[in-house]
Structures are given as structure tokens and as C-alpha cells.
Structure 1
Amino acid sequence: MEMGFIEIGDEEYQDLLMAILQQYSYDFSGYSKASMKRRISRFLINKNLGTLRELKLRILADADYFDFFLEEVTVNVTEMFRDPSFYLSLRKNVVPYLKTYPFVRIWDAGCSTGEEAYSLAMLFKEEAILARSRFYATDINGKVLQTAKEGIYPISCMKEYSRNYIKAGGLYSLSDYYHARYNRAIMDSELSKNFLFSVHNLVHDGSFNEFNLIVCRNVLIYFQKELQEKVLELFMDSLPVFGFLALGNKESLRFSKIEKYFQVIDHKEKIYRRIN
């Protein structure tokens, strides 16, 4: 065992994943093995668990503990207006097209604790299309979705979020969109009026609507190639012709099976439009 790392063998790793699949119907077999092993190892160390077998027994015996495990090992790194240049591009290259529709549906897939969904809502409000938009914000993790529904964040984060907002082309002040109370920032309820938060597992849940814009940023990088292809096909099935798909800046449709169905709108920001 290295300092700060517990070595996890392939056989015991696969045994844990199979047990989780059988008991809770969560399939992690398509996730990046190296990334998942790192996160599980960190979990073992932080919770003072000596072996993977001990973790498996606790997970199988206690559904609440599994929820706790799920929250820790699924990636929930997010912030408001993360990568401001992405929002600038969205405002310039995508919103003008969305404005031509009488009603707009947006899927924020892998929304985590909701900062991205609220960022999109602010942008849509400033572009005068929020009232005729419906946001579907989904994640595998029900606990982070609860945070997203509440729309309450540490006030200490708002300084950085404000800088992001300004760089993203914000027209006003970020403080116009939340109420400060003690050490918390409570998001304006108008932003989430047209939100629908729901648990959705990209690994095995199917398409549930047709969308004009799908945003799934920095999620595919944690999947192996085969699962990436499966999720991208799910997104294509959920987009009509001329619908937009936005990925993270380290993700791409290049060399994917669905690449030929899309036009590159912004190569740097990984924004695509379905053309056939």
C-alpha cells in the first residue's frame, strides 16, 4: 500500500461492481477503471476501511451507506458559469437559434448540485427566453439533486461565481439572482420555476423527451469508450434535426459513430448541431 493509496486488484474490483449491480441496479462497468479505483481507494482511506471486502459487506447490508458511497465516488465538481467562454459561445452561437422556437426544452445531463442549471437559467433570462423554456436537470445521484432543488449555496462561493458570471458576458450582477441570508446564498425562485429535477442514469436509462439543447459537460471523460458511444447515441436519439449538443472542453464527437450527423458550431467549446 502506497501512502494515501490502497491498491485494488481487478478481480476484487469486478466483484464489488457485480455486487452493486445485483443489489442496487447501478452499473459502473463502463466507467473508467483507473478513475473509479482512485475514487474507491480514497473512500476506503477516508472512512478507515482496510479492504474492499469490508466495503462490499457494508454496502450490501445498508442501503443508506450505499447512498453515501455513491455520493462520494460519483463526480460532483461544479461551479456557476464554469468555463465562462462556454457561456459566451452559447449566448452568441446557440441562443439566437433557440429564440426562434415558441418553446425550448433543455436537458442538463449530469447536473450535480445544480450550479450549471442555474447558470443556464440566468443566461436564458437575460436573453428573454426563460419564460418559454423547460429545463430537465438530471443526475445519477439523488442527494446532489436535492441540493439542486433547494438552490442554496455557500455565500463564500459567490465571489468566484461573480467573476465567472462577468467573464461569461453577464448583463447585470450575480447578486441580482440570489438572496443572502447568514452564510448562504438562496437562488431566486424565478430561475427554477421551469426546472424539473430527476434521477436519471446515463448508463441504462433511455431517452425521455426531445430537446433543443442538451448540455452534458465533463461527464463522458469518466466513461470508457464503449459507454461514451452508448451515451452519445442516447443524446442523438433525444435531439431533433437542428438540436444542439454541448460537451466538456476535453470531450468530443470526433471519431464517434454519430459524428457524421453533427456540424461543429464551436470547436474549442465543443458545441455541435445535429444536421441529419
Structure 2
Amino acid sequence: MNQFIPVEKNIDEELEKIEIHLLLEGIFLHYGYDYRNYAYPSIRRRVWHRVHAEKLLTITSLLEKVLYDSACLQRLLADFSINVTEMFRDPSFFLEFKEKVIPLLKTYPSIRIWHAGCSTGEEVYSMAILLHEEGLYEKTKIYATDINTDVLRVAKSGQFPLENMKKYTNNYLQAGGERAFSDYYKVTDTGVKFDSSLSKNLVFAQHNLVTDSSFNEFHVILCRNVLIYFNRELQNKVHQLFYDSLGMFGVLCLGNKESINYTNMNDYYEVISQSQKIYKKIK
């Protein structure tokens, strides 16, 4: 029996880049999904993971399978989708948001928030809890979007693993939570389900930051640790989308590894919090 041997360590790097270019171009031309400007090292790792998972030997063979097998395409797109999240991830961010952004939001008669790249929704529910405790949730609509319909289905359900609650409770308390975190969910046979009152003002929808346009004007946009997977050209394109989607004095929240610096939009914002990457549109 022939033993399957990974070959990417020995492949010519220039040939590998050509194969990946053809794969991404084929996906775009045939299906309309555009991953051509994602950060190359990240895409490369995920492409080779899918090559091995499909028991193939080359990226070109993966291209052939993807073009003729839509189920294989979906598996590859799932590999491309980055779904790392948790409740009150980076508690210091939520503390800073509470201190420096909430006072601004309290001046508005209604609030629209866009959480772009929401994954399975833990941070969306975290924001709903924060706004509830600040007395703002009733006048807020949160639009939570992601390219991946599978993670959106999880987010919409509001159901998460019970074993995660200890860590999430600790995050909540570090983020300045004012109640018992367990007040917000009920334990079920399959995990925990967050209270329906938290989801009544949430709208979950599929949206592709690469190809889709603005769909509303927002007071706050959160896109945390998504842009790190895009190259500079695509980052600038998405920053233009966010700029077009924010009202004047709207707030943009990025991840701790991201920055508005060195983008085309740098001069259009002022810093609210450099450490937590929170910016206000001023032009």
C-alpha cells in the first residue's frame, strides 16, 4: 500500500505560488469568492491543510477537485474562515469601551452597531450584555455579519458549550461586569443558551467584507482581529468600506494586533484609545 507523503516541504516556492494563485483565481472566477488578497502565509497553511485532508498530493489537484466538487469547495472555505473568539475576549477592551465610548453613545436617541466578522457570536452577546448593563440595549440594533453561514447559525442560536463558561465568567468580571454572569444564560442538555432578551435586537446576516458594499450607517463598527489576515491592498479596501459605513464621529474598533496607522484612512480618525485600538471618525 502506498503511504501518503506530504510534499509541500520539497516543492519549488515559485511553483507553489503559481499553484496557489491559480487556485484562488479559479475559485473567484467560477464561484465568486475572492480570497486573492488574503495574507499569503495564512492562505498557504490552509491550502496545504485541505490538500492533506482530501488525501491529495498537489495544490493543482485540489483546484481540479474544488472546481468540480462544490462540497470540497465548502470545506476549503471553512478552512479559510478564521473563527477564534470568546465572550468578553480581551477584557481590557470592553473596560475601555465602557469608559470612553459608552458616554458618547448615551447622547444618541438610537444606536446602530455593526460587528463585522462576528464568527460564532460570543463577542456580539458580550456587547449586548455590556449595553444592557449600561441601560442602552433597548435603543440599540446590532448587525452581526460573517462570510461563513455555519458560524452564523451557531451565533443566531445563542447556544455555547458549558465548559467555556468558567473562562467567560472570568473575562466578564475582568471587563467590569456588574452581575452574576450566570444570570444571562440557562444550562441545557447540550450546553448553555443565552437569554432571548439579549438576542431581540441582534440581526445576523451573511456579508463578505471583500466583495460586498456598505448596507447602513453606523455609530460603531467592531472588526477585531480580522484584518490581520488581509494584505495591505485588501486592508485599505475594507477600511474604505468601514469609513463609508460610519457616520461622523462614529467609532471604529479594531483588534489588538491591528491599527489604523499606515492605511489610507489614517488622517480621517482620531485616537480614542491607542492601546485598545479604538478610533473616532473626524472627517
Q: TM-score range by the shorter chain?
A: over 0.9
Larger gyration radius, structure 1 or structure 2? 2
Structure 1 residue 162, shift from structure 2 partner: 0.8
Q: Which residue does the alignment assign to 1:234?
A: 241
Q: TM-score, normalised by structure 2?
A: 0.93
- Out of 186, 195, 198, the residue aligned to residue 188 of structure 1 is 195
Q: Which residue does the alignment assign to 1:88?
A: 95
Is 1:262 the counterpart of 2:269 in the alignment? yes
Structure 1 residue 64, shift from structure 2 partner: 2.9
User: Which aligned pairs between 1:28-43 and structure 2 lie closer than 5 A?
Assistant: 28-43=35-50
> Quick one: distance in 1 between partners of 2:226 and 2:42?
12
Residue ranges of structure 1 left out of the alignment (5+ in a row): none
Residue ranges of structure 2 left out of the alignment (5+ in a row): none
Q: Structure 2: which amino acid aligns with 1:214?
A: I
- Out of 2, 16, 20, the residue aligned to residue 13 of structure 1 is 20
Does the 8 Å CA contact 2:6/2:57 hold for their aligned counterparts?
no
Is 1:159 the counterpart of 2:166 in the alignment? yes
User: Which aligned pairs between 1:147-226 and structure 2 lie closer than 5 A?
Assistant: 147-226=154-233
User: Which aligned pairs between 1:95-134 and structure 2 lie closer than 5 A?
Assistant: 95-134=102-141
> Quick one: distance in 2 between partners of 1:42 and 1:164?
32
Structure 1 residue 69, shift from structure 2 partner: 1.8
* Residue range with higher mean Cα deviation, 56-65 or 213-222: 56-65
Q: Which residue does the alignment assign to 1:143?
A: 150
**Does the C-alpha gap of structure 1 residues 259 and 53 become closer, same or farther in structure 2, counting only changes over 3 Å?**
same
Does the 8 Å CA contact 1:112/1:139 hold for their aligned counterparts?
yes
Does the 8 Å CA contact 1:242/1:273 hold for their aligned counterparts?
yes
Does the 8 Å CA contact 2:114/2:143 hold for their aligned counterparts?
yes
Q: TM-score, normalised by structure 1?
A: 0.95
**Does the C-alpha gap of structure 1 residues 26 and 267 become closer, same or farther in structure 2, counting only changes over 3 Å?**
same
**Does the C-alpha gap of structure 1 residues 6 and 164 become closer, same or farther in structure 2, counting only changes over 3 Å?**
farther
Structure 1 residue 145, shift from structure 2 partner: 0.7
**Superposition CA RMSD, Å:** 1.7
Q: Which residue does the alignment assign to 2:64?
A: 57
Does the 8 Å CA contact 2:148/2:206 hold for their aligned counterparts?
yes
> Quick one: distance in 1 between partners of 2:141 and 2:259?
26
Percent of matched pairs sharing the same residue: 47
Tell me the matched-pair count: 276
> Quick one: distance in 1 between partners of 2:9 and 2:156?
35
